């Protein structure tokens, strides 16, 4: 379901009702006549729906985290806010950029349209920028020949599985963030689909190396061994970017989770 398209249709429909009543029908009614039901329900909702549409399209949009690919940074059930204008102003519904602003940086947590199926929204962390060479082999990440240091910290307890996973602090760009790496999980990466620029990725038993093409980004989840990301389905084009995630505003299971995150 394309909620942006539904909102757009509602804005157009209620806007037509409001304009028709304001500029023509209202003048034809007696001064003391009651507004007809289609004006009361249609026209009166127009300003509210328009405000929601503009806010959601150009400022911030709420999302709910559906999977554990970004644990421990984001948990299943986290409700987050996404900044819609950080990476440029885009037309709603068609998501076409009309004003270029900032570009994603390594370490940003980004919501984007899933390349194999743009009707789905995914959230991952930016690891590789256009032109970068990203290598992930034997659970170690390197970008442009420089290994990204992983500093061991306390193990993470998955309360659903009652399972402890090794946790590390990793620095991408200027962002320090936590990742999970399961020592017993295989290093081999199974390419799940053929994708554009697949020839720029090379797979072996130790992992994968990719050269990020122009206008694209390489994304990975913080839960490294439980994330379907660019290692499996390829690069994210700039046209698919939705915005930068920056705030957890609610979680039904843990109210303490409210706040910003890296």
So which residues are the catalytic ones?
A: 69, 124
| Alpha-carbon span 153 to 178, nearest angstrom | 9
154 pairs with which residues across the strands? none
| Alpha-carbon span 60 to 212, nearest angstrom | 28
Burial 110-135 (b: 16+ CB within 10 A, else e): bbbbebeeeeebbbbbbbbbbebebb
Give DSSP secondary structure letters for 105-147: -TT-EEEEE-TT-TTSEEEEEEEE-TT-EEEEETTEEEETTEE
Helix runs in the chain, H state only: 3-20, 26-28, 37-38, 46-58, 230-233
Among 176, 172, 177, 178, smallest CA distance to 105 is for 172
Place of tokens 């209620």: 14
């Amino acid at each position: 379901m394309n909620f942006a398209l539904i909102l757009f249709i509602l804005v157009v429909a209620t806007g037509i009702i409001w304009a028709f009543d304001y500029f023509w029908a209202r003048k034809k009614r007696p001064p003391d006549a009651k507004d007809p039901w289609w004006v009361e329900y249609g026209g009166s909702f127009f300003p509210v729906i328009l405000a929601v549409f503009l806010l959601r399209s150009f400022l911030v949009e709420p999302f709910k985290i559906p999977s554990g690919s970004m644990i421990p940074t984001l948990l299943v059930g986290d409700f987050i806010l996404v900044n819609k204008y950080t990476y440029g102003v885009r037309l709603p519904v068609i998501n076409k950029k009309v004003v270029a602003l900032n570009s994603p940086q390594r370490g940003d947590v980004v919501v984007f349209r899933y390349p194999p199926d743009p009707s789905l929204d995914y959230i991952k962390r930016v690891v590789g920028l256009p032109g970068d060479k990203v290598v992930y082999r034997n659970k170690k990440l390197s970008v442009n020949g420089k290994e990204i240091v992983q500093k061991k910290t306390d193990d993470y307890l998955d309360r659903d599985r009652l399972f402890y996973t090794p946790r590390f602090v990793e620095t991408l760009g200027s962002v320090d963030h936590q990742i999970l790496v399961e020592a017993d999980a295989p290093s081999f990466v199974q390419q799940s689909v053929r994708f554009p620029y697949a020839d720029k990725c090379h797979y072996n038993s130790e992992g994968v190396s990719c050269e990020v093409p122009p206008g694209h980004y390489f994304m990975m989840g913080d839960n490294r061994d439980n994330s379907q990301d660019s290692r499996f389905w390829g690069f994210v084009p700039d046209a698919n970017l939705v915005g930068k995630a920056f705030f957890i505003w609610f979680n039904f299971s843990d109210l303490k989770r409210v706040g910003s995150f890296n």
